[in-house]
Structure 1
Amino acid sequence: MKIVISAAETSGDLIAASLVKSLKAHQPEYEIEGLAGDKMIEAGCKSLWHSDEVNVMGLSEVIKKLPQVLRLRKSMISHYSSNRPDIFIGVDSPDFNFKVERELRRLGIKTMHLVSPSIWAWRANRIKKIKASTDLMLCLFPFEVDFYRKHNQKALFIGHPLTERLSPRKNYKANKQVLLMPGSREAEIKTLLPELVSTVVLMRQNDPEIKFSISLANDHHKEWVERKILDFNIDLSVGDAHEKIKKADLVIVASGTATLEVALIGVPMIVIYKLSFISYQIVKRLLNTEFISLPNKILGKGVVPELIQDKVNGQKISTIAMQLITSDNQPIVSELRKIHSLLNQNSSAKSVDAVIKIINE
């Protein structure tokens, strides 16, 4: 049995790793390969291509790397047209994966997509491409299935695999620890880190006892970050975000899957989101949602502060941060705990069942 999984970015790699692990536990002899990140490889996926080759952020940033991305996608289509798998599973990265899925599906290869794109938020017309690309959409959030049902696309709510690894922390005591999570992509880190350093300086003026740390998803840009924070007494580590989140009074985090990780552990946060000027001018005209962060979208209300574009500056971030770490945040924590209960659906087992069912149809 050959199962191909394609995850083109860090968030997809994390989710796909849970699927790889569950598939291997179900049948160790399954041959699992594809476009993989470090966590997928660790879980047992053979990497024919590494996700770092295509992991970019923002529309203008994609343009710079577009030739390389297109070459890789063409190579994948060609390879699997000749070396046909039993199923191709695209994980997240819809603009990359749907094209591969669509071409392989035309050849009679079964396809599945894990993690719905945010078509409920923007570019709803993508539903046509989705229907042509995938036999089944696996949805992490319940409100997504409702959208697909309206458009006659087969979809299944499986919950979120992170709930199997993360749960609300217990016996926590405030300790003046603030965690900074500037994202995983180069553009994110280089855009957000200067504002976060400014935030640190301003918050220390209010309270010199506050301790700051940065957790990076990988070490690809560690040296650059080290140089930028050298004189600011900020602890830096790699790959330990979950442990750092558990110990923090507050997390200042780039918008994306990391916000869900913080929510599942039940920690107050500030969500920041900033693109290049060109990317933002394009994206803001396409948005059709009140909230940019997953916690607020899931809960349907503004539970955690969101700062977008020009509001992502040291002064604004530090003002809100000081308000949060000097307040009783139990109401926020109680709301975040609801997210874990809602998404805890044994998603890995449901995903494996869905894969086997489609293969055997």
Structure 2
Amino acid sequence: MVAGESSGDTLGADLVRSLKRRYPNARFVGIGGPKMIAEGFESWFPMEALSVMGFFEVIKHLPSLLKIRKNLIKRLIELQPNVFIGIDAPDFNFKVESVLKSKNITAIHYVGPSVWAWREKRLAKIKQAVDGVLVLFPFEPDYYHRYGIPVKFVGHPIANQFPEEPNTSVAKQRLGFSVDDSITAILPGSRMSEIERMSDVYIQAAKKLAIIYPAMQFAIPCVHQKALERVQQSINSFGKGLKIKLFLGQSRDVLEACDQALVTSGTATLECALMKKPLVLAIAVHPISYWLMKRLATTQWIGLPNILANKPLVTELIQENATADKIAFNMGRLVVDTQLRERQVDAFRHQYHQLKQNASELAADAIEEWMKK
């Protein structure tokens, strides 16, 4: 098994537990993190060596990454394992899987790449590399079936981290708000490029909202200190007089405490839906990135709640539409339109139950089946 980051380590640890129940004498080797190691996994290389993000960072570390991969493949071919499971980290794992499959070692990829969002034609190459793919979303298998790739939907493990129903009152008090306060969460993203681009616009939108709803308060979880300082800069410039609290981390607490949320795209939209909170999505990216994404996109939406619902459930304000005026208008509508709120929350409850599966057991079932083949 190879996991490249902490989310993969969590998936890997759960999967090791499930497979150990079926195969008590099994040996698990490769690259993993502390959670996998705690389950008896032998990590031949530190997982941190694979946790490299961004084009230039990858280029800088490329020689060491290639050396690790070469050594890993050599050791695995010598060992001849029953199965290899690459957990996410597609740039690293698909090459390993391809070589091992050519040596008649069952190769499985856990967490399908986002072919449903862009570059679906990658699946032609993926077919050559793997004996099966484990996917997290219920709409994904159709893409793999079109290319004749064995696939199994196992659910999204993140759903297990969210309550059946949020305890909004307790969460508000935990963050220092009153139970009766109207709280709008603003989730500005995890990448500094997103925060730089959107922070000023979000605060300008909050200022306009506060004119319509003077009692409204705002909560912003910031991924790290640098992000917090950049958001504070926007508040100093555009948000004087706003009732606003910044938090270092604590995005789950903020989501549970809020009544509605303004969210950048990505996993945050899914987390918001799993917490059953009405939301508006607003994002602008670099014009060249947007042009490329538009050309390569395979869905008409970018928010996961809309993709899961297969309809425009949540308002998406993209590029030139992501203005302070339009954000404030759509957030204001979300505050007062009871039917719109209920429609979103009902759909989010359905999505929660769709994604909350026993992922590691379903994955172990599929692995067992593909190994036997």
- TM-score interval for Structure 1 and Structure 2 normalised by the shorter chain: 0.7 to 0.9
Structure 2 unmatched runs, 5+:
170-179
Q: Contact (CA 8 Å) 2:3, 2:47: kept in 1 or not?
A: no
Q: Kindly report which structure 2 residues correspond to 1:136-155, keeping only aligned pairs within 5 A, or say none.
A: 136-155=132-151
Cα distance change on mapping 1:26 and 1:40 into 2, 3 Å: closer
TM-fit CA distance, 1:299: 1.0
Q: CA separation in 2, counterparts of 1:34 and 1:235?
A: 40
Aligned equivalent of 1:195: 201
Please name the residue that 2:351 is paired with: 339
Match of 1:225 in 2: 230
Q: What's the offset of the Cα at 1:152? A: 1.0
Q: Kindly tell me: are residues 26 and 152 of structure 1, through their superposed partners in 2, closer, same or farther at Cα, counting changes over 3 Å? A: closer
C-alpha deviation, 1:351, in angstroms: 2.2
Who is 1:125 aligned against?
Answer: 121
* Pairing 1:1-361 to 2, within 5 Å after superposition: 3-7=1-5, 13-14=6-7, 16-24=9-17, 27=20, 31=28, 34=31, 48-50=46-48, 53-56=51-54, 62=55, 64-68=56-60, 70-71=62-63, 73-84=65-76, 86=81, 87-95=83-91, 97-170=93-166, 172=168, 175-216=181-222, 218-219=223-224, 221-222=226-227, 224-225=229-230, 227-229=232-234, 231=236, 232=239, 234-328=244-338, 329-355=341-367
Q: Which has the larger radius of gyration?
A: 2
Superposition deviation, residue 176 in structure 1: 1.3
User: Partners in 1 of 2:157 and 2:113 — Cα distance?
Assistant: 17
SS at structure 1 position matched to 2:263: strand
| Displacement of 1:121 | 3.8
TM-score, length of structure 1 as denominator length: 0.82
Contact (CA 8 Å) 1:76, 1:100: kept in 2 or not? no
Give the total of aligned pairs: 346
| Cα separation, partners in 2 of 1:335 and 1:143, compared to 1, 3 Å | same
Aligned alpha-carbon RMSD (Å): 3.3
Instruction: Normalising by structure 2, report the TM-score.
Output: 0.79
- Among all aligned residue pairs of Structure 1 and Structure 2, give the percentage whose two residues are the same amino acid: 29
CA contact (8 A) 2:303 2:316 kept: yes
CA distance, structure 1, for counterparts of residue 32 and residue 191 of structure 2:
17
Task: Tell me: CA distance 1:49–1:92, structure 2 relative to 1, closer, same or farther (3 Å).
Answer: closer
After superposition, what is the alpha-carbon deviation per residue over 1:310-339, rounded to whole angstroms, capped at 9, x for unaligned?
A: 222322212211111222111221111111
Measured against aligned partners, the alpha-carbon deviations of 1:58-90 in whole angstroms (never above 9, x if no partner) come to xxxx3x445136445413322312332745444
Q: What is the identity, as a one-letter code, of the residue corresponding to 2:161?
A: R
